[in-house]
Every structure is written in C-alpha cells, then in structure tokens.
Homo-oligomer: A and B are copies of this chain.
Amino acid sequence: MNRSTFEILILGSSAASPTSERNSSAQLLTISERYMLVDCGEATQIQLRKYKAKFQAIDHVFISHLHGDHFFGLPGLLGSMHLLGRRQDLNIYCPKELKNILDVINSITETRLNYRVNWHFTANDGLQLLFEDEKVEVFSFPLRHRIFCTGFLFREKPSPRKIDKYILEKLSISVADILRLKAGEDVENELGVLIRNEDATLDPPPARSYAYCSDTIFDPSLVQYIKGADLLYHESTFLEDQAERAKKTFHSTAKQAATIASMAEVKQLLLGHYSARYRDLDLFVEEASSIFKNSILSGDGKKIKI
C-alpha cells in the first residue's frame, strides 16, 4: 500500500562547530505534504538549496534551544524567504528569547518581512501541544541541557478505518453510515441489519511518530515522552571515551542514546550531533548497536523514511 510521505532529510549532523563534511544541526521533515524544519544551524538555507528542498514550502520551524549551532541559520533563511517573494505566514516554535534576537537584528538591519511570523513559545512543562491539524500533531517536551531546551514529537493522527469494499458492495449502507464505520462504530443498514465494524472495515495503517532529542544529557525521564516512537533521533555528541565530558557539557554518548532508545522501546535510533573531534562515525553506530541493534547514523543529505 502507498503510504503518505513521512521522511526526514538531514541538513546538518555536526555538534557546535560545523566541519567541511558536516553542517550544524538542521533537519527537514516532510509529513503528508507538510514541510517542517527542525533546528536551523548556520547555512541551513544553503543546505536546503543543495539538496533541492522546497524551502518556501516550509510553514513550521521548530527550534530546540538557543545555542548558535541550532539557530544561527534562521535570520538568513527568513531574509531569503522574504527576498524570494514569500507571502504566507511562517510559524516558529521556540524559546521566547529568540524573538528578542530577531527583533534586534530586524531593527538594526532595517528589515521588514513581507510575510507574518507567528511566534509560539515553548515551555518547560511536560508534553505541550504546539501544532495540530487533521493529519499531524507536534508536541514539545523538556530536555536537560545547559540552557532551556526542548525535544519535539511529531505524530500522525490515527487514520480512519478502511471500508472493506467487497463487503460494501453487498450491503446497503448510507453515506452517513460509511463515515460512522470509518470512525470505528457499528451501524444498522437500511434493512435494519446490524453491521459490526469489525466485519465491514479493515485496520488503518498504524500512525507513525518521530521523536527529536537534541541536545540533552543522559536522562531516562524523557522516555515517557518518546515511548514506542517509530524513529528516535537522539544526540550522540561523544563516544563513551568522553563520557565524563558528555556529562559535564550536558551531552550524551552513543551508548547513552542507545540506552534511551532501548528503554523507550522505539523501532529505530538515529544518531547525530557528532563532535568535530571524531572522523570515523562508524564507531558511533558500533557503540550504539551493542545496546540497541537498530541504530543508524545521520549524515548531511541522508534521507530516512518512516
């Protein structure tokens, strides 16, 4: 069966400083024709062009926290959206101080965007619904980092049940009843016969979800928010050889990321936010796989489908 798109394009997989191979943090999510940017490190607009992404189609930008490697690309992206004729609103979900920074920059550079920015500020308080429409919902949840930081959970809403067309042809059911069947109810047909939902419908495909956790110290308390996700992105700035440094800087090792993945019983773990000190990224997936088998590496330009 053809499912709607649920895809992550990695735009940057480096920690703190970009390298010649790896840009600062940014990911483009495509969920059923909705384009969402998650973090926006320096040069994100250039990465979007490089990988031929539709950057004017992005209507939602999620910023986890206000370290530069997660948002220094935003002023330039907003400016280019303006210069290239954007008119539709842009929604930004972020710590509230980001608006202060943008206000100062726009004032001093004498920039007035030709489109509206709707600001939605994240809070440090459990699972917060940031966005929903008929197909998708997005939540933030707290991460423990040196400064205020949230993760994000992107989740499809459950699809309606599928009507079994073979059954439908044999029965005499009104349009209203078809909708009730899709919603999971039993109905009576025009002859007064009870049609049980399970006899007339098929299970819809399971709703998919993606959890994004960057940046964070090893913190099992976040497992509650990401339980059972199809894909978990969990930062792995370091390997275990730098576990002390990870703790001190409120980052995680590949092994710790895998431990969280295992505890949360997710289906797949995506590693990233690698410190520039490491050249051989295979070591990250080796270390993680010893704890959680289905671990994969992010890398600039890589696409992961759910």
Contacts and interface: CB of A to CB of B under 8 A. Distances in A.
A112 interface: no
The interface centre, meaning the residue of A66, A68, A98 with most chain B CB atoms within 10 A of its CB, is A68
Contacts of A73: 42
Interface string A43-81: 101100110000000000000001111001101100110
A117 to B, nearest CB: 15
Interface stretch (A11-19, A169-177, A260-268, A291-299): A11-19
A233 to B, nearest CB: 22
A88 interface: no
A105 interface: yes
Nearest to A78: B68
* Shortest Cβ-Cβ A-B pairs, 5 listed: A43-B43, A42-B76, A17-B80, A97-B108, A20-B49
A67 B111 CA distance: 9
A16 B79 CA distance: 8
Contacts of A84: 17
Contacts of A191: none
Contacts of A97: 108
Nearest to A42: B76
Contact of A83 (B17, B75, B80): B17
Interface of A: 16-20, 23-24, 42-43, 45-46, 49-50, 66-69, 72-73, 75-76, 79-80, 83-84, 97-98, 100-101, 104-105, 108-111, 146-147
Contacts of A104: 100-101, 104
Given A20-B50, A73-B42, A66 B108 contact: yes
A163 to B, nearest CB: 47
Given A20-B46, A100-B104, A101-B105, 10 more contacts: A16-B79, A16-B83, A17-B45, A18-B49, A42-B42, A66-B108, A67-B109, A68-B105, A98-B108, A110-B147
Given A18-B46, A110-B146, A68 B72 contact: no
9 contacts: A16-B80, A17-B45, A18-B46, A18-B76, A23-B46, A43-B46, A68-B75, A68-B79, A110-B146
B68 A76 contact: yes
A109 B46 contact: no
A18 B45 contact: yes
